Amino acid sequence: MIPMFGHRLVRAVVVAGITASLSGCYYMQAARGQFEVMNKREPIDDVINAHETPAALSIRLELVKEARQFSIDELALPDNDSYRSYADIERDYVVWNVFAAPEFSLEPKRWCFPVAGCVNYRGYFSEDAARRKADQLKDNHDVAVGGIAAYSTLGRFSDPVLNTMMHWEDTDLMATMFHELAHQVLYVKGDSGFNESFATAVEEFGLERWLSSRDQQGELTRYRERRELGERLMEHVELARLDLEAIYSSSIGTDEMRLRKKNRIGELNVVLHDELERSGHEPPAWLGEGLNNARLASMNLYHGRLPEFRTVFMECEADFECFYAEAKKLCC
């Protein structure tokens, strides 16, 4: 299993265009995709009680129910219909995200939408459509395409648990639910870095409390080890980002800049593979596809402000209501 670091590219906020004018092809595919997901929802209790439901799925959905109530009682997350239904969309990913950044910049390309504001990715319910968009951007951008197994509509719809989430371990499944519900508590239009760092913090604090409440010390230890590995990987990424920013801001020629970029990203790729191998983890598929500015920019979204949120949570003495109130002061 990949450490939590490896799951950061499988989450998104996908509300863009769904409530907007449906005149464009992009908005049409977003609306069709969202309606497909909504139409396939079934109440979790109905799925659990259905004779044709595999026993393994019923057990996991029972766990989802328990964690969902825990999210309300212990994490002060919204008490609504999100994650109280299940949808089997009969594919491995629900959407595919396109990330882009200029050849000599780590500043991600932004797309702006009526509901979500400006975000650093563009989501498609079709992999072919996502890759066509990526191909259009390749002339003057580094691009990356990632399959997305879960997303949030920020409470605009009652988000279901998806079959795409069932491939994960229990800890990742619970973490994702806490993460996506956190977007309903606090979401700042136009600040993907703030939003994802905040949700990642809620995920981390929530999962710690969830595992502790169940006296799952072994799972808690394993989760912390994976989180520490993810942080070590991100330290390598941050060092590479600093080096690349220095290269991009220098006055060297284009050819030399391109060569230095290639060499530094190649070094990072080797270091990440070695770190994962030493820890007994297989490199994620996206790492095998190669690193570039777009991929590095997307990684920073989920960790950039995490240390700040950890400090706030500690100052709140691990009280979630206090944490949410103080987090809002940081953004608004």
Tell whether the torsion through CA atoms of 266, 270, 271 and 275 is positive or negative: positive
CA distance 83 to 65: 8
pLDDT value at position 115? 62
CA distance 294 to 282: 22
pLDDT at residue 203 tops 90: yes
pLDDT at residue 116 tops 80: no
pLDDT value at position 19? 38
273-308 residue pLDDT tens: 999 999 988 888 777 778 999 999 888 767 778 899
Strands across the sheet with 141-148, in order? 122-124, 95-102, 141-148
pLDDT value at position 304? 74
For range 100-105, the mean pLDDT = 96
32-70 residue pLDDT tens: 889 999 999 999 999 999 999 999 999 999 999 999 999
Q: Are 155 and 116 in contact (CB under 8 A)?
A: no
Q: Predicted confidence band at 13 (pLDDT cuts at 50, 70, 90)?
A: very low
For range 17-31, the mean pLDDT = 62
Return phi, psi of residue 42, to 5°.
-135, 145
For the entire predicted model, the pTM comes to 0.84
pLDDT value at position 150? 86
242-258 residue pLDDT tens: 999 999 999 999 999 99
Rounded to the nearest 10°, the torsion over CA 119, 125, 129, 135 is: 40
One-letter identity of residue 95: V
Q: Are 108 and 297 in contact (CB under 8 A)?
A: yes
| 17-22 LR contacts (CB < 8 Å, sep 24+) | 17/113, 17/114, 17/115, 18/115, 18/153, 18/156, 19/114, 19/115, 19/156, 20/113, 20/114, 20/115
Burial class (CB in 10 A: 0-12, 13-18, 19+), 128: exposed
In sequence order, which residues have a C-beta less than 8 Å from that of residue 28 and are 6 or more positions away? Answer: 22
pLDDT value at position 21? 37
In sequence order, which residues have a C-beta less than 8 Å from that of residue 19 and are 6 or more positions away? Answer: 114, 115, 156
Q: How far is CA 5 from CA 93, 223, 230, 300, in A?
A: 18, 12, 5, 11
CA distance 265 to 271: 10
Share of the chain above pLDDT 70, in %: 91
pLDDT-wise least confident of 32-36, 88-92, 201-205, 328-332? 328-332
pLDDT value at position 191? 83
Q: Predicted confidence band at 192 (pLDDT cuts at 50, 70, 90)?
A: confident
